Structure 1
Amino acid sequence: MNLRGALAILTNELARFFRTAFGSILSPVLTTSLYLVVFGAAIGSRMDPAQFGGSSYGAFIIPGLIMLTLLSESTSNASFGIYMPRFTGAIYELLSAPVGVAETLIGFVGAAAAKSLIIAAIILGTATLFVDYEIAHPFYAVGYIVLVAAAFSLFGFILGIWADGFEKLQIVPMLILMPLTFLGGTFYSIDMLAEPWRTVAQFNPIFYLINGLRWTFTGTSDVPIALAFGLTLAFVGLCVAVVAFIFRTGWRLRD
């Protein structure tokens, strides 16, 4: 493995993030703060903690807000990171360089995941200013957050290769991921839904991701935790297989 090549790609992508760090960090932190103020403080004071496994409503929505940020930031960072070399033509220099699939993924996907983890950590710290919460399983929480960030950075990488214009880069995050996240239990428990919506919600894949992270924070979940972790690992495996196919065939890279 060409570690120097992987490190060069990783360093370049992280440098781009830090050049615009103020804007990149301010927007998600401000949005999360508004959610915590409006939902956690204003609405949460009227919620019965018994509906949320004994946790306050503010503490209940923190995992969902972190997941909302992780999905959007990981996907956007990775898709933009690989799309720009394609847009400018620099992708041909990458393809002719002595770097393989592993080095490329470490560089682009690793940088996108690192950016998302930095923002998630800042949001988690910001939440302490508004809500009193505890993390029931901190080791699993860190591991699961890293796993989700890697999974959707891989997904964003695929999206950046598929897109043939800036508009397509926004279609999936804005029109698919964000609605699914809001409908996946970010602000409510599935037990609060009446049928048939309770059954419909269980077909939403983001619902399982949110509940997996919520279990690491509160110790409670609407679904078996093994199912949530298993689906996340399966998604990672699927994305890796798609990326391997792309590099093996040159789809959208050499066109």
Structure 2
Amino acid sequence: MNLHAIRAIYVSEMARTGRTLMQSILSPVISTSLYFVVFGAALGSRIQEIDGVSYGAFIVPGLIMLSLLTQSISNASFGIYFPKFVGSIYELLSAPVSYLEIVVSYVGAAASKSIILGLIILATSALFVPLQIAHPLVMLLFLVLTAVTFSLFGFIIGIWADGFEKLQLVPLLIITPLTFLGGSFYSIDMLPPLWRTVALFNPVVYLISGFRWSFFGTAELGVGISLAMTLAFLAVCLATVAWMFRTGYRLKT
């Protein structure tokens, strides 16, 4: 494996975060703080506890997941789309760098930025509500798996997109609604039986439920099911990326 090539691409992508600090870090942190002010103050005064957890603390895992999913997709999709846009992707494909090394470097950089952001949001949350993480290792596992999985998903979107507007199409019209409907700000056990059944078809429910279990030791769904669903989505994304590079889908034309 060409570690020098991986390091070069990885460092280049990470350096872009420093140039877009306001958009990459400050904007999501400010948005999360506003969620705490609006939901924590407005709804927290009416919903005291959910499953024995104060409402302010209950929404922390959902808020972190909301930022993690959107930023992972955004970072990875733009990272691979921009070389396509300016034409430098052909130099990369003709260089002595394997497809695996390209994926590892771009997805690794996007996931790293998302994990850093998730930890910053976690620290910011502690300023608003008292937090206690029951299973820190499981929390880190879900944080890393989710960042890598959705960075791969963003990588797929970046290859598929043929315009900047398409980079925002999937996150805005699909991922963000699924996250809001996936129990970020409420427990799906609060839903009527019919809508709870419908919610179980939302893959984001499993991510948030497993992540919430790592904080409080309780969740709507078993942590094993949540982990299995996350790994299944990761496997699908890996298979899709492998197919794209094997066929040259929107890479060689």
TM range (shorter): over 0.9
Q: Which residue matches 1:187?
A: 185
Residue 19 (str. 1) matches residue 19 (str. 2): yes
Provide the C-alpha distance between the structure 1 equivalents of 2:138 and 2:194, rounded to a whole number of angstroms.
32
**What secondary structure does 2:130 align onto?**
coil
Alignment of 1:84-99 (within 5 A): 84-99=82-97
Determine the C-alpha separation between the residues in 2 that align with 1:139 and 1:209: 16
Alignment of 1:41-56 (within 5 A): 41-49=41-49, 52-56=50-54
Q: Which residue of 2 aligns with 1:218?
A: 216
Q: Which amino acid aligns with 2:190?
A: M
* Displacement of 1:184: 0.4
Instruction: Verify: 1:64 aligned to 2:58, yes or no.
Output: no
Check the 8 A contact 1:161/1:252 in 2, yes or no. Answer: yes
Among candidates 234, 247, 250, match of residue 249 of structure 1: 247
- Name the amino acid aligned to 1:231: M
Partner of 1:174: 172
SS of equivalent to 1:203: coil
Q: Distance in 2 between matches of 1:108 and 1:123?
A: 23
Q: Which residue is 1:234 aligned to? A: 232
Per the alignment, residue 151 of structure 2 pairs with 153
Aligned partner of residue 46 in structure 1, secondary structure = coil
**Paired position in structure 2 for 1:106:** 104
* Residue 195 (structure 1) shift: 3.0
Give the SS at the match of 2:184.
Answer: coil
Query: Mind listing any 5+ residue stretches in structure 2 that lack a counterpart?
Result: none
**Aligned to 2:64, what secondary structure does the other structure show?**
helix
- 3-state SS in 2 of match to 1:134: coil
Do structure 1's residue 10 and structure 2's residue 22 form an aligned pair?
A: no
Cα contact 1:82–1:157 (8 A) shared by 2: yes
Deviation (angstroms), 1:41: 2.8
Take 2:23 and 2:195, find their aligned partners in 1: how far apart are those partners? 38
- Conserved 8 A contact 1:13-1:111: yes
Could you report, residue by residue, the CA deviation over 1:27-82 in whole angstroms, capped at 9, with x for unpaired residues?
Answer: 11111001111112332132132xx2211001100000000001000000000000
Q: Distance in 1 between matches of 2:40 and 2:69?
A: 21
Map 1:67-78 onto structure 2 (within 5 A).
67-78=65-76
Secondary structure at the aligned position of 2:207 is classed as helix
TM-score under structure 2 length normalisation: 0.98
**What is the root-mean-square deviation of aligned Cα atoms in Å?**
0.9
Using the TM superposition, give the Cα deviation of residue 152 of structure 1 relative to its aligned residue in structure 2, in angstroms. 0.2
Aligned-partner Cα distance in 2 for 1:55–1:218: 8
Deviation at 1:113, TM superposition (A): 0.5
Give the percent of matched residue pairs that are identical in Structure 1 and Structure 2: 61
The alpha carbon displacement at 1:198 in A equals 1.3
1:116 — aligned with what?
A: 114
Instruction: Structure 1 unaligned segments of length 5 or more: list them.
Output: none
**Which amino acid counterpart does residue 31 of structure 1 have in structure 2?**
S
